[in-house]
Chain A
């Protein structure tokens, strides 16, 4: 319904910078997640888009319309709160109708819309209940119906599921995605839960200390983290230190970086800002480290030798710590080959690091 543009959006509370020069463009109909640790400024960003928090500086646009001086009630948005925030003194039907009556919609139209919404959330005939007479999941569904009833331009979600139990969360997150797909509305969803973000987003914006560290698809974020924070916040990672030997034009015209690292050579897709001689961190995910059957590939790129110092069988996965010349590597194996490794504690093995990613180290301060 609307493209949302943030331009150097900043919010300061006294000396605290809650949101620091965030710029982003969220396409019409896109589902974007703001993902980040507690206190990183997700809620503040969302509330600025809703008009509930004033910007210290910067601009927000819906399509080409500047929203800076548009009050919340004229923005035509829908906001889902962490607590469902249903009006406790109004019935379910009155809650759903609230937005429409604010616009003085004719009574018949309001009634028809309420019925339609109740059908949509599969709560037909429950319009007369009070919110306190509903289960947690039903309350959150009514809250969704209430926010969709006015046909808003932008849907905003502030951890709407975090107060619910796990099963409910799993079903409801797909209901939310389904509703967004059906209505083709722009959606911005705040969460600190990675699996939630990965499950429902078109694009994820990872935030840290008020800044957007990286914005991209799930694959971008997972396989090609651009900062150390993203590499460590999203999933698990092993960090190795290395030095850039060369940048080479690799296959398909994608530049490759060659890194000397712990006595071996690692190749990865080169980020734009690297040059030979740079100190870098090399990140490898535990599930991207493969235990090789023998030492025949020793000396090849990404292959090194180590000793299994710890083995933890967790059922579906086997977690190992492998000591490679004093560098501890965390490895997780989940195929059937994990069973063959069970009795290999203290054995010497060869491993191959796959899909490494390289990030230039920040200048020492």
Chain B
């Protein structure tokens, strides 16, 4: 008992020192968190302002009422783009990884060009292309999807290539010796094992396409305003309104929820690598 008292003083001193360090560490982290979240919080705060004074959800009611179509369009284009990206990337990845193609590196580099092209340049080229050669889809839903696919399929292709390179050929061979033809081998064995690559590609495509603005600005038709473009248009035409902030908050929130859900659903199964375990 007496010993405890004897060392009580310095130990209490030391622990208060530790408290100080740990407090500083936390403060540091919170500072950066706050800086990152500040724009979002500001938007949410402004979205809650009522034009007639005070605070309300009026902005959100208005956003859901009049921007519903824009939000739905954004989701639709995103989902269709993801599906097309998958359909393009899996065969392309097989060709590149499993078959001897001359000039593989060059082809791969060329395929990735769209990732390094500035959005404005991309938008301009596409709008010129649609105007001169593809007027039938100019300004339509499919024009948007085509633009997004061209711009983002490398985001799907690259993770699928990496996953395929890491996938030992022995699983496909085992499937074939067990009587599975080419399609069954692909669908039952290889694509499930490429899961981590494909889901990473889905996440990347979603985040980019759902929030895409610059290319859309160039090519979207009158009736085809995505949510991101709508925000810009309203701000440019009518200045700030709480409903615009509400729409922005909704978009931000949707992205956030999708990413969270993604990690919840796929994170444990694929990203942590039970596969090949």
Stretch at the interface among A72-80, A204-212, A296-304: A72-80
Q: Within the complex, which residue of A87, A88, A130, A147 is in contact with B177, where a contact is CB–CB below 8 Å?
A: A147
How far is the CB of A150 from the nearest CB of chain B, in Å? 6
How far is the CB of A264 from the nearest CB of chain B, in Å? 55
Residues of B within 8 A of A (CB): 168, 170-171, 173-181, 184-185, 188-189, 192-193, 195, 274-277
How far is the CB of A101 from the nearest CB of chain B, in Å? 9
Whether A132 and B181, one on each chain, are in contact in the complex, defined by CB atoms closer than 8 angstroms, is no
Residues of A within 8 A of B (CB): 50-52, 71-79, 81, 83, 85, 87-89, 98-99, 102-103, 130, 132, 146-147, 150, 156
Whether B170 and A85, one on each chain, are in contact in the complex, defined by CB atoms closer than 8 angstroms, is yes
Q: CA A306 – CA B174 in complex, angstroms?
A: 57
Known contacts A87-B174, A88-B274, A89-B275; is A103 also within 8 Å of B179 by CB? yes
Q: Which residues of A contact B168 (CB under 8 A)?
A: 83
Whether A99 and B170, one on each chain, are in contact in the complex, defined by CB atoms closer than 8 angstroms, is no
Q: CA A83 – CA B168 in complex, angstroms?
A: 11
Q: CA A150 – CA B184 in complex, angstroms?
A: 16
A–B pairs, 29, beta carbons within 8 Å? A52-B173, A52-B177, A71-B176, A72-B173, A73-B177, A73-B178, A73-B179, A73-B180, A73-B181, A74-B179, A78-B177, A78-B178, A79-B173, A83-B170, A85-B170, A85-B171, A85-B174, A87-B175, A88-B275, A88-B277, A89-B192, A89-B193, A103-B179, A130-B274, A130-B277, A132-B274, A147-B177, A150-B179, A156-B177
Q: Which residue on A lies nearest to B170, using beta carbons? A: A85
Q: CA A103 – CA B178 in complex, angstroms?
A: 9
Q: Which residues of A contact B195 (CB under 8 A)?
A: 89
Whether A102 and B179, one on each chain, are in contact in the complex, defined by CB atoms closer than 8 angstroms, is yes
Q: Within the complex, which residue of A51, A75, A87 is in contact with B171, where a contact is CB–CB below 8 Å?
A: A87
Whether B170 and A72, one on each chain, are in contact in the complex, defined by CB atoms closer than 8 angstroms, is no
How far is the CB of B184 from the nearest CB of chain A, in Å? 6
Q: Which residues of A contact B275 (CB under 8 A)?
A: 88-89
Q: Which residues of B contact A77 (CB under 8 A)?
A: 177
Q: CA A83 – CA B276 in complex, angstroms?
A: 11
Q: Which residue on B lies nearest to A52, using beta carbons? A: B173
Known contacts A81-B170, A88-B275, A88-B276; is A72 also within 8 Å of B189 by CB? no
| Dominant secondary structure of chain B at its interface with chain A | helix
Q: CA A351 – CA B197 in complex, angstroms?
A: 69
Q: Which residue on A lies nearest to B184, using beta carbons? A: A102
Interface centre among A76, A78, A99, A156 (most CB of B within 10 A): A99
How far is the CB of A79 from the nearest CB of chain B, in Å? 4
Known: A99-B178, A150-B178. 8 other contacts (CB 8 A): A71-B181, A72-B173, A73-B181, A74-B179, A83-B168, A85-B170, A98-B180, A130-B277
How far is the CB of B76 from the nearest CB of chain A, in Å? 31
Q: Which residues of B contact A132 (CB under 8 A)?
A: 274, 277
How far is the CB of B272 from the nearest CB of chain A, in Å? 12
Q: Which residues of B contact A147 (CB under 8 A)?
A: 177-178
Q: Which residues of A contact B179 (CB under 8 A)?
A: 73-74, 76, 99, 102-103, 150
Q: Which residue on B lies nearest to A83, using beta carbons? A: B170
Whether A146 and B193, one on each chain, are in contact in the complex, defined by CB atoms closer than 8 angstroms, is no
Q: CA A132 – CA B273 in complex, angstroms?
A: 11
Q: Within the complex, which residue of B170, B178, B274, B276 is in contact with A102, where a contact is CB–CB below 8 Å?
A: B178
Q: Which residues of B contact A103 (CB under 8 A)?
A: 179
Q: Which residue on B lies nearest to A78, using beta carbons? A: B177
The 3 closest A-B pairs by CB, nearest first: A132-B277, A99-B178, A102-B179
Q: Which residues of B contact A75 (CB under 8 A)?
A: 177
How far is the CB of A124 from the nearest CB of chain B, in Å? 22
Whether B171 and A72, one on each chain, are in contact in the complex, defined by CB atoms closer than 8 angstroms, is no
Whether B274 and A72, one on each chain, are in contact in the complex, defined by CB atoms closer than 8 angstroms, is no
Q: Which residues of B contact A52 (CB under 8 A)?
A: 173, 176-177
Q: CA A83 – CA B174 in complex, angstroms?
A: 11
Whether A50 and B177, one on each chain, are in contact in the complex, defined by CB atoms closer than 8 angstroms, is yes
Q: Which residues of A contact B277 (CB under 8 A)?
A: 88, 130, 132
Whether B274 and A87, one on each chain, are in contact in the complex, defined by CB atoms closer than 8 angstroms, is no
Q: Which residue on A lies nearest to B277, using beta carbons? A: A132
Q: Within the complex, which residue of A78, A85, A98, A150 is in contact with B173, where a contact is CB–CB below 8 Å?
A: A85
Q: Which residues of B contact A88 (CB under 8 A)?
A: 193, 274-277
Q: CA A145 – CA B244 in complex, angstroms?
A: 63
Whether A72 and B276, one on each chain, are in contact in the complex, defined by CB atoms closer than 8 angstroms, is no
Q: CA A103 – CA B180 in complex, angstroms?
A: 8
Q: CA A257 – CA B274 in complex, angstroms?
A: 65
Q: Which residues of A contact B274 (CB under 8 A)?
A: 88, 130, 132
Q: Which residues of A contact B192 (CB under 8 A)?
A: 89
